[in-house]
Amino acid sequence: VNSGQLIAVVSNNRDLNSTLYLTMEEVQGLKPGDDVQINCANNDSQNLTREIAKIDSISSVPNSSNSRYALAIDFPQGSTCVLANNFVKANFKITGQIGSNLVYLPLEAVKIGQNRNIVFVIQDNAAKTREVKTGNVFGQYIEITHGLNQGEVVAIGGSRNLQDGDEVFISSDLN
């Protein structure tokens, strides 16, 4: 695509949406329904229009061509920012919690049950059962929304065979 080249014609903006591709770090803390601020200006005007759109969905698996997660945004009905036969420059500002302090763990570290989800926190060389609440799954990682604090040591490898109170050894060999 070259600068100034026509790439789309919008004939009806009632069902207008856009897809952004973000890294895993960028989508952390975002969820459907979060606000997105759109700043746009028509080519023949210096006036800036601001609208609030909503995040419609976030893919749970990265795109195979760019390894990023698709974030679908729904524009408000009757958008004055994007009109048929108008060229616009739009900047998106996601107003959710980008890069928030949420915790993500490999799926293998979480025992997912019907009534509760469990991880094993390592304290004093022992595995301690900790109930957690989970959120979105991003590829091989799952969001922990409640029950863990950043910096806590969680068993990952072999955690499926652990029991509460089992003695553990933390390996310094990461190979």
pLDDT at position 4 over 80: no
Start-to-end C-alpha separation, the chain: 44
CA distance 70 to 60: 8
pLDDT for the residue numbered 118: 93
Which residue, among 129, 132, 131, has the nearest Cα to 166 in the 3D structure?
129
* pLDDT tens digits along 8-61: 655 555 566 678 888 877 777 777 888 877 777 665 556 667 777 888 888 888
* Whole-number average pLDDT of the chain: 76
Stronger pLDDT, 115 or 75, i.e. the higher one? 115
Q: How far apart are CA 96 and CA 33, in angstroms?
A: 10
Pairing of strands 88-94, 35-42: antiparallel
Classify residue 150 by its DSSP letter. T
What pLDDT score was predicted for residue 121? 93
What tens digit of pLDDT does each residue of 62-93 get?
Answer: 888 888 888 888 877 777 666 655 555 555 56
